[in-house]
Structure 1
Amino acid sequence: MAKRNGSARESFWKLFSFLKPYKLSLFLSLISAFLSVVFSLFLPILLGKAVDKIAGKGAVDFLGLGQILRIMLLVLLLAVGFQWLMNQLNTYLTFHVIEDIRKKAFSHIQAAPLSSIDAKEPGELLSRLTTDIEQISQGLFVLLNQFLQAVFSILETAFFLFLLEWRIALILLALTPLSFFIAKFISKRSYLYFQNQSKSRGEIAAFSTEAIGNVKLLKAFMQEAPKESLYQEKNERLSQYSMQANFYSSLVNPFTRFLNALGYALVGGIGALFCLRGSLSIGQLSSLLAYATQYAKPFNDITSVITEIQNALAAASRVFAFLEEEEMKQKTEERELQKPVEGNMELSGLYFSYTKNQKLIQDLSLSVKSGQNIAIVGPTGCGKTTLINLLMRFYEPNQGGIFLDGIPYDKLSDHSLRSAYGMVLQDSWLKSDTVLENIRYGSPEKSREEVIAASKRAGCHHFILQLQKGYDTPLPEDGGNLSQGQKQLLCIARVMLRDPAILILDEATSSIDTRTEEKVQRAFQEMLKGRTAFIVAHRLSTIQNADCILVMKDGNVIEKGSHDELLQENGFYKNLYESQFQGAET
C-alpha cells in the first residue's frame, strides 16, 4: 500500500511542476486565499464584540454596535472580493495547466516511436488523452480552490483560537492528529481502487472503440451477443472498482464529522464553565463556538473533495506514465538532403524484429540506384511492410544502417527524410475536410489548378465533379459514403500532387476496379520515370516491368533479379507467379 501512496505523491509533484510557468498567478492565488480566510475569520471576533455590546441588561451600546457592524460589512466585502479573485486565478491556472498537459501529450504522440503507439489500443490511449486529463482538470481545480483554502483555514483558525483562549485551543488541536490519521489511513487504501477504476475505464474505452469501428464485422459474424456479454463483464468490473473506491473515500467524511462534533461539544461545555467562573465573556464564548465550527469546516471540506483528488492523481499517474515513455532518439547531428534528391539507396546489414523472441529481417543488404523501381513480393508475414516501415523510419533497425544519397538515416532530420518520400498504402486515410484539402494534405502550397491536374492523372477528377460541391465538398473523417476505391484514388492524387523523389506503393491499387487500375497504372508508369520506387505487390502481373524484384521469405531476401531472370531460376518466385496464373485460369 505504501508504494501506491508513494506513486500518488509522485503524481502530485509531477502535476505541480506544470504550475511552475505560472508562479506569479499561483502566488497571487495563495495570497488571495490567505487574505480571504483572514477576513472571514476576523468576523467571529467582531461578532463576539457585538454580542458583548448587547449582553448587559438595559445597557445596549448602540453606538459601539453600529461601529462594529460597519467594520463587519467592510471585512465581509474584503473576504468576498479576495474569494472572487482567488476563484478567477484558480480557473486561469487550471485551464492553462490542462492545456499544457494536452499539448505535451499530443506532442509526445508525434515524438514517440511508432512501436510505442502500436503497442497500445487506440481506445485506451484515447482514454488517457481525454477522460484522464479531464479528471486531472477537475481534481486540480478542487485542489487549488478548496483544498489549499481549507489548509489555510485550519492554520489561521488555530491562530485565532489561541488569541482568544489557549486552553480551549489545545483541546481542539488534540483532536486534529486523529482526523489526519483517519483520513490518511483510508485514502492510502482508496488510491489503489481509484487506479483500478481509471485503468478499467481505459479498457472500456478501448473495447468500445474497437466494437464501434468494426460494427459491420460484428453483425456479419453475428457476434453482437458475445460482445455485449463481454462489455457487460467489463462494465461490471468498472462498477465494482468505482463502488469500492467511493466506499473507502466516503468513510473519511463521517469519521471527521464525528470528531468535529465532539470538538464543538467540548468547546461549548468547557467554555460555559469558564463563563461561569468569569474568565470568559459571553461574546468570547460565541466567538469560540464560531471558530470551533470554522475549524471543523475545513476538515469536512478536505474529506469531501478527497475522492476527486484521489481520482485525479490516479488519472495523472496514467497520463504521466505515457508522457515519460521514451521518445525517438535525438540525433546529435542533423543534416538536410540536397535538392533535388537523387534517390540512391543503400541498405547495409539490416537486422530487425518487433520482439526479441521472434526474429524477422536478418542481415538484409541492398543497393538501389537512382530511378530504379524495386518490387517487393512474398507470402504474408515475410517482412514486406516491415521493410517499408524501416525505409520510412517509422521503426529503427536493431542493427545495420540505411543510406539515402550517401547520408546515413540517423544523421537526417525526420522532416528532410520523409519529404523525399511519397507513400500510398493499401489502407486509405482521409481527414474531416473538403476534397480539395484532403488532396492538398502535406502540400498546402499547391494551387487549385495543380490539385485538379493531379486528380486527372489519378483518375478521380470525374467522380469528384459528380459530388455535391465538387472539390469543395466536405468529407467526414475516413471519407464517409465514398467507396474504398474512390478514397484510394484521392490518396493516389495526394501523392501525385506532392511529386516526391522516391515512391512507396504498398498495394496502392488493390481497392479499385480493373479499368480504373489500368488508368492509374499508366499514370504511375509516367510518374515512376526517373524516380526511385519501392512497390509492394501481391498481383505479380503489376510488377513485371520492375528493374529489380526482391522475393522475401521469413524476413530474408531469398531471390533477387528481374522478372525474366527470376522465372529462369525456377525458384520460389516462379512458383508464386505460376500459382497466381493457374488460379486465375481455373
Structure 2
Amino acid sequence: MSEREGAVPRRRPAGGGHGPMGGGMMPVEKSMHFGASSKRLIRMMRPDRARAFGILALGLVSVALQVIGPKILGHATDVIFSGVVGGRFPSTVTKQQVIAGLRAKGDSKIADMLAAMHFVPGQGIDFGAVGRVLLFAAVAFAVAAGLGVCQGRLTATVVQRLAFRMRQMTEEKLARLPLSYFDSQPRGEVLSRTTNDIDNISQTLQQALSQLVTSLLTIVGVLVMMLYISPLLAVVALVTVPVSLVVAMVIGKRAQPQFLKQWASTGKLNAHIEEMYTGHALVKVFGRQKEAADTFAEHNDALYGSAFKAQFISGIMQPAMMFIGNLNYVLVAVIGGLRVASGNLSLGDVQAFIQYSRQFTQPITQVAAMANLLQSGVASAERVFELLDADEQVADPAQPQRPAQITGRVAFEQVSFSYDKDKPLISDLSLSVRPGQTVAIVGPTGAGKTTLVNLLMRFYEVNSGRITLDGVDTRTMSRDELRRRIGMVLQDTWLFGGTIAENIGYGVDGVSRDRIVEAAQATHVDRFVRTLPDGYDTVLDEESSNVSAGEKQLLTIARAFLTEPTILVLDEATSSVDTRTEVLIQRGMTALRSGRTSFVIAHRLSTIRDADLILVMEHGDIVEQGTHDQLVAADGAYARLYAAQFAEAVTDPDPV
C-alpha cells in the first residue's frame, strides 16, 4: 500500500463534506472533575510506583532532618544564653541561691525565667558545646540536601517516563482512530493535545510532585515538633490554617475554569496558525491576509484574556498566604515571649518555634501554589484524556480471515453508508468487479466517488451490506492485510521530509536502489530526478517546495508502482500535472494497471476512455455503468458530462 492510514490527508470526506461537523472546529466539551482527572493521572504512574515510593522515602528522611534543624539551633541558642547568664554571677553561689536572691529583690519574673534555664554561675559560654551542636546541625542539613538531590532525580525519572508513556499512548491512539475523527478535528488542535498539553503535564508534575511531597511531609513534621515544644503555641499557629484552606479553595475554584479556557484557546490558536502556515501561498494569492490576521488576533485575544485571568487569579494565592503567615508570626512571637517571661519555655524553644511557624506557613503556601499549578496540568490532562477516550475504529477480528488466493475480485453487496444518520449518502449499492478490470468512477462533486474507495479501504465502515475481496468480507480481514493488497495514489500528495529515494521506497521495507530507479523510470520520475543536483538523494523540505506539484504527484505514483499491489486506487492522480506529463503518466499507468484490478476516480474524462467499466455516480447511487462508447451512445448523465468538457461553444454569450 502506498499511503498509510495515518498519512491520509486531513480533508472533508468525499461526497461534499458530509462528515461530522463538516470539518469545522469541535466544540469544547465540559471538562471532567478535577479529582477524577487527578486520580487517573496518578494511576498512570503505576509502572513507576517503586520509584514513587522511593521519592516518598527520600522526602521523609530529608524532611525529618530539616525539621529537627531548628530544634538543634534552638539548643545552641540555649547554650549561648546560659553561658551569658552564668558568666554574670560569681562561681561561689549556686543556681538556687541566685534565683532565691532575685525573688528576695522582687524580680520574680526574671527568677521564673532563669529557673527554667540550665546555667552554672561563674561558667561562661561553652564554645566547644556550641561548635558540636552547630556541626551536628550542618551535617543534618547537608544530608537533607543530598537526599533532596536524589529525590529530584527520581522525580524527573518518574515524570519523564510518564510523559513518554502518554506520548506513546497518544501515538497508538491516533493509529486506532477512524478517519472520521480527523475529518472533524483541525490538525492544529490534535497536535496541540499531543505536544503542548503533554509538555504542560510534564512541566507541571516536574515542578509540583517533588515540592508537593516535601511540603506535605514538612507540614506534618513541623506540626509534630510544634506540639512537642508547646501545645499552646501549636494551637495558636493552627488557628490560621482553616483560613488558609478556605482562601486556597476559593482562589482555586476561580482559577480552574480559566486554565481550561487557556488551553482550549491555545489549541484553537495552534490550529489556525497551522492552517495559515500550510496554506500561506493561497492566503496571499486571494488577498486574505487581513482576514487571517483578524482571526489570529481574535484567537490571540481570547488566549491572552484567559491566560491573564488564570495567572492573575492564581497569582493572588501567594500574597494571600504570606499575609496570613505574617499574622501567624505575630501571634506566635507575642505569646511565645510571654511564655519565656513566665519561665514555661526557654528562649531557644521560642526561637525554634518561630522558625517552625515560618516553616509551617511556607509549605502551606507552597501546597496552595502547587495546587494552583496542578489546575493547569490537570486541565491539559483532561484534554489528553478526551483524545484517549475518543471512539476508536472497530477492532480487527481476533482470528482474521484471508482469501485463499488474491486475484483482485471485488464486490459491493447492498452497501449503505452515511456520514450523518439524517443524510443518507449511499443506499443499497451493489457492484461486482472482475480481477484485472479497470473501473472508472465519475460524477459531480459530492456524488460519493471517494467515499466508495474509502469504504473499500475500510477508512470508514459500511452501515449495512458488505464488501468482499475474493469472496471474503473485508470486515473479517485485518486492516493491514487488506491495505497491503491495495496501492493508493491520492489527489492530495503526501511526502515527508527525506530524500526522493526514501519517499519512493516508503511502502516497501528494505527496498534496493535499483528497484527504486526502475519504478521511477516506469512512471517517468527518473527524467526530472536526474536534473536535480543530488538526484535521488535530493532532500525534500517539510513542504516539499523544492519540487513542483506535478513532480510530487509523479513521486506518489512511483511509490504506488513499487509496492506492486493487487488492487490499485487512483483518486484524481493526474489532477496536478500538465498535459504532456499526463500523457506520460497514462503510459505508465497502463503498465501499472496490467493484470491488476483498478479503481480510477477522475474528473478528466479523457483519462478513462479505455476503462473496462465506467460508473457514473450521483447522490451516492450508480445511475449509469458501461464502457465509454456505450455511455456516450446512451446519451445520459455521462454523455452530458463528456459534452460539458469537450463540446465547443457555438455562441459567445458575452461578445466584445
Bin the TM-score by the shorter chain: over 0.9
Please state if 1:564 is matched with 2:629.
yes
Deviation at 1:73, TM superposition (A): 2.0
- 2:508 is aligned to 443
Deviation at 1:308, TM superposition (A): 2.5
Amino acid at match of 1:18: M
Counterpart contact for 2:454–2:460, Cα < 8 Å:
yes
Please state if 1:480 is matched with 2:545.
yes
- 1:193 is aligned to 258
- 2:425 is aligned to 360
Q: C-alpha separation between the residues in 2 aligned to 1:445 and 1:124?
A: 35
Please state if 1:503 is matched with 2:529.
no
Which of the numbers 622, 633, 638 marks the counterpart of 1:573?
A: 638
Which sections of structure 1, spanning at least 5 residues, go unmatched?
none
Deviation at 1:195, TM superposition (A): 0.4
- 1:163 is aligned to 228
- 1:90 is aligned to 155
Q: Please say which of residues 572-581 and 38-47 is displaced more in the overlay.
A: 572-581
Q: 1:368 to 1:88 in 2, by over 3 A?
A: same
- 2:338 is aligned to 273
Secondary structure of the structure 2 residue equivalent to 1:545: coil
Q: Please say which of residues 181-190 and 214-223 is displaced more in the overlay.
A: 214-223
Q: C-alpha separation between the residues in 2 aligned to 1:526 and 1:585?
A: 39
Q: C-alpha separation between the residues in 1 aligned to 2:433 and 2:160?
A: 52
Please state if 1:209 is matched with 2:268.
no
Which of the numbers 3, 24, 37 marks the counterpart of 2:63?
A: 37
Query: Which structure: larger Rg?
Result: 2
Q: C-alpha separation between the residues in 2 aligned to 1:117 and 1:339?
A: 34
| Map 1:416-565 → 2, pairs under 5 A | 416-565=481-630
Deviations 1:234-258 (A, max 9, x none): 2112111111112221222222211
Counterpart contact for 2:414–2:428, Cα < 8 Å:
yes
Please state if 1:54 is matched with 2:119.
no
Which of the numbers 29, 38, 44 marks the counterpart of 1:18?
A: 44
Deviations 1:203-250 (A, max 9, x none): 111111111112122212222122212221221121111111122212
Deviation at 1:61, TM superposition (A): 2.1
Structure 1 stretches of 4+ with a deviation exceeding 4 A read 3-6, 583-586
Amino acid at match of 2:57: I
Q: Please say which of residues 276-285 and 305-314 is displaced more in the overlay.
A: 305-314
Please state if 1:77 is matched with 2:77.
no
Deviation at 1:444, TM superposition (A): 2.1
Q: C-alpha separation between the residues in 2 aligned to 1:232 and 1:475?
A: 33
Secondary structure of the structure 2 residue equivalent to 1:426: coil
Q: Please say which of residues 339-348 and 477-486 is displaced more in the overlay.
A: 339-348
Q: Please say which of residues 87-96 and 140-149 is displaced more in the overlay.
A: 140-149
Deviation at 1:352, TM superposition (A): 1.1
TM-score norm. by structure 1 comes to 0.97
Secondary structure of the structure 2 residue equivalent to 1:509: coil
- 1:263 is aligned to 328
Deviations 1:277-323 (A, max 9, x none): 11100111111011001101102222333443211111111111111
Deviation at 1:339, TM superposition (A): 7.1
Deviations 1:13-67 (A, max 9, x none): 1211221100111110111111111111110010011111110222312232222
Counterpart contact for 2:37–2:381, Cα < 8 Å:
yes
Amino acid at match of 1:45: K
- 1:142 is aligned to 207
Secondary structure of the structure 1 residue equivalent to 2:569: strand
- 1:390 is aligned to 455
Amino acid at match of 2:377: A
Q: Please say which of residues 513-522 and 435-444 is displaced more in the overlay.
A: 513-522
Q: C-alpha separation between the residues in 2 aligned to 1:529 and 1:211?
A: 42
| Map 1:225-304 → 2, pairs under 5 A | 225-304=290-369
Counterpart contact for 2:31–2:382, Cα < 8 Å:
no
Which of the numbers 116, 123, 126 marks the counterpart of 2:181?
A: 116
* Aligned residue-pair number: 584
Deviation at 1:4, TM superposition (A): 7.7
Counterpart contact for 2:244–2:321, Cα < 8 Å:
yes
Which of the numbers 238, 246, 251 marks the counterpart of 1:173?
A: 238
| Map 1:212-223 → 2, pairs under 5 A | 212-223=277-288
Which of the numbers 318, 327, 330 marks the counterpart of 2:392?
A: 327
Aligned residues with identical type, % of pairs:
37
Q: C-alpha separation between the residues in 2 aligned to 1:584 and 1:13?
A: 71
Secondary structure of the structure 2 residue equivalent to 1:311: helix
Q: 1:123 to 1:35 in 2, by over 3 A?
A: same
Q: 1:583 to 1:316 in 2, by over 3 A?
A: farther
Amino acid at match of 1:149: T
Deviation at 1:85, TM superposition (A): 0.6
Amino acid at match of 2:50: L
Secondary structure of the structure 1 residue equivalent to 2:494: coil
Q: C-alpha separation between the residues in 2 aligned to 1:527 and 1:180?
A: 73
Secondary structure of the structure 1 residue equivalent to 2:157: helix
Please state if 1:374 is matched with 2:439.
yes
Deviation at 1:429, TM superposition (A): 1.1
Which of the numbers 310, 319, 322 marks the counterpart of 2:375?
A: 310
Q: C-alpha separation between the residues in 1 aligned to 2:594 and 2:62?
A: 75
TM-score norm. by structure 2 comes to 0.87
Deviation at 1:365, TM superposition (A): 0.9
Counterpart contact for 2:519–2:558, Cα < 8 Å:
yes
Deviation at 1:376, TM superposition (A): 0.3
Secondary structure of the structure 1 residue equivalent to 2:357: helix
Secondary structure of the structure 1 residue equivalent to 2:151: helix
Deviation at 1:503, TM superposition (A): 0.1
Amino acid at match of 1:105: T
Amino acid at match of 1:469: D
Q: 1:583 to 1:506 in 2, by over 3 A?
A: farther
Looking at both structures, which has the greater relative contact order when contacts are Cα pairs under 8 Å and sequence separation is at least 6?
Answer: 2
Deviation at 1:340, TM superposition (A): 5.4
Secondary structure of the structure 1 residue equivalent to 2:390: coil
Q: C-alpha separation between the residues in 1 aligned to 2:60 and 2:314?
A: 27
Counterpart contact for 1:40–1:76, Cα < 8 Å:
yes
